[in-house]
Amino acid sequence: ANVNGSAIPRMADASFYTHAGPEIGVASTKCFMTQLANLLMFSIWLGRRRGTIDDAQATELVEGLARIPHVIAERLRATHLAVADIVRDFSDARDVLFLGRGLSFPMALEGALKLKEISYVHAEGYAAGEMKHGPIALLDARMPVIVVMPHDRHYDRVSSNMQEARAREAKIIGVTTVGDTKGQALCDRFVEVAATHEALSPFVTVVPLQLYAYCVADHKGTDVDQPRNLAKTVTVE
C-alpha cells in the first residue's frame, strides 16, 4: 500500500508500505517500481530465513538495489531519446505484442498494460515460450514485437523466439543489455539497458517499456496522467 491507514492495510493482517509518495499519474509507474523493491526485499529476507541464500548473496542484492536509482538515472536520457526515435517509426501500429521469459515476463505484461492505459493501443504481454500457442498467428509485417531480453539464463530461448517472430516478418524491438551485439543483430530496432544481477533486471528493463507507452501517448496527444475511463481506486464493483 502507498498510503498509511488506507482501506487495504486496515483490512490486512500485515502490509508493506511502498513510500512512493504522491502519484499524479493514474498509470502509477512510481508505485510499480516501489512495489518491485518491496517484493525483492521481502524475497531477500525470506531467503535468509529459509537458508536458500547466504549473507554474501543477500548483501550483493541489497547493495545492488541501493544502486538502482543511479543506474537508471545514468542511462535515462539516452533511453528516452532511443525510445522516442523508435516510436516515430511505430506510433501508428494498432497492435503491439510484448514478450519475455522468467522475470522479464511480468515486465512484458507491465509494458503492454501501460501502452493500453495511456495511449489506447491494443497490446498484449505474453510469455515468450507460449508464443506458438496463440500470438504467433497474429504476426505480420505490420505488428511490432517488443522483446525483453536481458542477458540472463533465458537468453538463448528468447533469441530462438525472436527468430521465429522474424520469420513471420514481424518487426522486432529489443530491450537488450549494453553491448549485446548478438541479440541486437536479431532486432530491427533496440534499446540498451545496464547489465545487472538477474534478480535486479526488472528495474532496468521496465523503464524503456514505460517510456515507450509515454512516447506513443505523447505522439498521439492523449492525456498521460489522466487517461480516459481509468481510476486509481475501484468504487463500483
pLDDT-based confidence at 232, cuts 50/70/90?
low
Question: Which H helix or E strand runs over 189?
Answer: strand 189-193
Percent of the chain at pLDDT exceeding 70: 97
Amino acid at 139: L
Q: What does pTM read for this prediction?
A: 0.91
Report the pLDDT value the prediction gives residue 37, as an integer from 0 to 100: 96
pLDDT per residue over 28-57, tens digit each? 888 899 999 999 999 999 999 999 999 999
Does pLDDT of 231 surpass 70?
no
Q: Say yes or no to pLDDT of 63 above 90.
A: yes
C-alpha separations of 113 from 60, 81, 106, 153, 235 in Å = 31, 22, 10, 25, 21
CATH of region 77-220, choose from 3.30.1330.10, 3.20.20.150, 3.40.50.10490, 3.30.565.10: 3.40.50.10490
